[in-house]
Amino acid sequence: MRFVATILIFFIFNAQGICAEKIVSSNAEAYQALKKSNPGDQLIFKNGEYKNIQLIIDRSGTQNNMIIIKAKNPGKVFFTGDAKVELRGSYIVFEGFIFRNGKRNPENWKPHGPGLVAIYGSFNRITQCVFDNFDEAHSAWITTSLYEKGDVPTHCRIDHCSFTNKLTFDQVINLNNTPKKDTVGGPAMYHRVDHCFFSNPKKPGNAGGGIRIGYYRNDTGRCIIDSNLFVRQDSEPEIITGKSRENIYYANTFLNCQGTLNFRHGDKQAAINNFFISTDSLYGYGGMFIWGSDHIIANNYFSLRKTIASRGRAAIYLNVGTKASEHALAYNSYLINNIFSNVNGYAIHFNPMIENRKIFAQQENKPLEFPRDIYLFNNIFYNKQYSSYPFIKDDYQDIIRNLNWKNNYYDGSSLGIKPTEGLEPDEMKTERFNDDFLMPTTAGSINKYNNFKFYNISFVDFDIQTKITEGLRGEPLSINEVLPRWMTAFTGNYYHTGILDKELKNI
Ligand code: CA
C-alpha cells in the first residue's frame, strides 16, 4: 500500500491486519482511492460539495471488515448535480451523505430502473443519508437492483435515512428480485429497512409511494420493514406496497398519511405493532389494505380523525376479488389484538371499492368472492367521537364466509352487523398514550386466544408468536427517535404543514 498523490492515507490496525483510512476531497480523489480499496478500508469524504459525482464501488469488504465510505462530518458532505452511486461490491457501508440540488439527465433514468443509489451487491448498508427533493429525473432514490446476469442482492440494510419532498415518479425505495413481473418468482431478499423517515407530497396518479418490495405475488421478500416513521407520506395511495410473500412490518408509525400500508401482492405477510394515527382532519388518512391470504395483522393501533373517501373510509380494508389474481381476494388471515380507537370511519371494511372489483371480475371473467376465513381475535373497537360510523362495514353478511370472531369487544359506535358471538359490547376504560391518543382497555381481551400456533418466516430472526403474545407495545415514534439530530435540518416543512413549499414544484 503506497501513498497516492494528494490523498491522505492513515493506517489503522484491526483483527485482520492493516487497513487504510483514506481522506478525499474531490471526485477524482475518491475514484482513485476506491480502485485500491480493500476490506476494512475507510474512504472518508472531507466537508464540501461533490458535484456530478459518479461513485461506482465495485470493491468488496468482508463480513468482519466492511469497506466504509463515509462523510467526515455528517451534515457537511453534499452529493449534487448529475450524481449517482452504485454499490456493486458487497459488505460496503455508505454513511452520512446528503443528496440534494441534483440535476441528472431525465432521459437516462426511468421508473423501475436502478435508483440514484443502486445496490447490486449483498450485505451492503446505507445509513444516515439524507435525500431531499433531489431532482427531476424519474427514478427511485434507493434500489436493490439485479445485475445484468440476474443475481439478486440480499441481506442489505437501509437505516436512519431521511426521504423528503420527492416529486418524481417511482417509489422512494424499490427492493427488486425479478427483472419484471415474472411467473417464476424472485428469490428471498432478506433486506431490512429501519429507522427511516418518509414525508413526500402527493403526486398525480399511481406514481410510486414510499417502498415497494418485489413485483408480484410469486416473489418472496422476507424483508423486515421496522421502526420507520412515515409522516405525510402522501405520494400516492400506497404508502408501502408489499408485492412479495413473507415480509414483516413491525413497529412503524404512520402519522397523517394519505394512503395505506398495502399487502398488495404476495401472501403470508405480517403487520405487527404498527401505529396508524392522525392528529388532524386536513386530509383523509389510512390504515391497511389487504389483498391475498395467510396474513397476520396483529397488535396494531388505529386512530384516524379522517379516513379516505375513495377507498371507503376505514382503518382496515379487506379486498373483494378472486384468489391469486391482480386484485386478489383477502382470505384465510388473522386479525388479532388490534385496537381501533376513535376512527372517523369504519374499523373494518369487508367490501371496499366493490364497484371497481365487479368490473375487474367481469373483465377477467372470474368469480367475485368476498373475504372469508378471517380469524378475528382479541380486537378492541372503541369510538366515542365519530358515532356516525358503525365499526364494521359488510354489505354481504348473508353469504356464508366463515368469519371467526372470538373475544372481541366494542364500545361507543354501533356494530354495523348482526349481533355476533365473540364480538360483545363492553364499557371500556381509556388511558392516554400522550395528548393525542386514547388507549382503550378492556378486562377480558388480551391474550385469551394467543395460544394459537403462528408460523415464523424461514431464516428471518423475528418471533411472530412471541410478539403477538406480548400485545401492543410502545408508543408512536417521533422524528428524533429515528433520525440523528443533524438530519432534521434537511427534512423540509411538508411533514409539518402538508402544503408544498413555494420553491418546490409538482410534476
Ligand atoms: Ca402504486
- Kindly report, residue by residue over 475-491, the tens digit of the pLDDT: 999 999 999 999 999 99
Residue 451 has pLDDT above 70, yes or no: no
C-alpha of residue 286 to centroid of ligand 1, in Å? 15
Do the beta carbons of residue 23 and residue 7 sit within 8 Å? Answer: yes
Q: How far apart are the first and last CA of the chain?
A: 49
Place of cell 399487502: 263
Task: Return the beta strands (E) in 286-444 as ranges.
Answer: 288-290, 296-298, 301-303, 314-318, 331-336, 339-341, 346-349, 372-377, 380-382, 392-393, 403-406, 408-411, 423-425, 429-432, 438-441
Residue 449: per-residue pLDDT: 60
The cell for 477 is: 415514534
At 60-91, the pLDDT tens digits run 999 999 999 999 999 999 999 999 999 999 99
C-alpha of residue 261 to centroid of ligand 1, in Å? 11
Residue 212 has pLDDT above 50, yes or no: yes
Residues, Cβ < 5 Å to ion ligand 1 = 206, 238
Residue 147: per-residue pLDDT: 86
C-alpha of residue 102 to centroid of ligand 1, in Å? 25
> How large is the average pLDDT for residues 384-396?
96
Residue 34 has pLDDT above 90, yes or no: yes
> How large is the average pLDDT for residues 227-246?
98
Residue 436: per-residue pLDDT: 86
C-alpha of residue 210 to centroid of ligand 1, in Å? 10
Residue 341 has pLDDT above 90, yes or no: yes
Catalytic residues, which ones? 243, 265, 326
> How large is the average pLDDT for residues 258-262?
98
- What percent of the chain is predicted at pLDDT more than 70? 94
> How large is the average pLDDT for residues 39-53?
98
C-alpha of residue 227 to centroid of ligand 1, in Å? 22
> How large is the average pLDDT for residues 350-361?
96
Residue 197: per-residue pLDDT: 98
Mean pLDDT score of the chain, rounded to an integer?
93
Read off the pLDDT band of 12 (50, 70, 90): low
Residue 4 has pLDDT above 50, yes or no: no
Which residues does 7 contact at the CB level (< 8 Å), separation at least 6? Answer: 22, 23, 24, 29, 32, 33
Residue 52 has pLDDT above 50, yes or no: yes
Residue 128 has pLDDT above 90, yes or no: yes
Residue 447 has pLDDT above 60, yes or no: no
Residue 3: per-residue pLDDT: 44
- Spatial separation of the C-alpha atoms in residues 200 and 231, rounded to whole Å: 8
Residue 21 has pLDDT above 90, yes or no: yes
C-alpha of residue 205 to centroid of ligand 1, in Å? 8
Give the angle 260-261-263 at the CA atoms, nearest 5°. 120
Residue 2 has pLDDT above 50, yes or no: no
Residue 504: per-residue pLDDT: 83
C-alpha of residue 175 to centroid of ligand 1, in Å? 14
Residue 150: per-residue pLDDT: 84
At 272-289, the pLDDT tens digits run 999 999 999 999 999 999
> How large is the average pLDDT for residues 282-309?
98
Strand-pairing partners, residue 198, are 163, 230
Domain 253-476 classified CATH 2.130.10.10? no
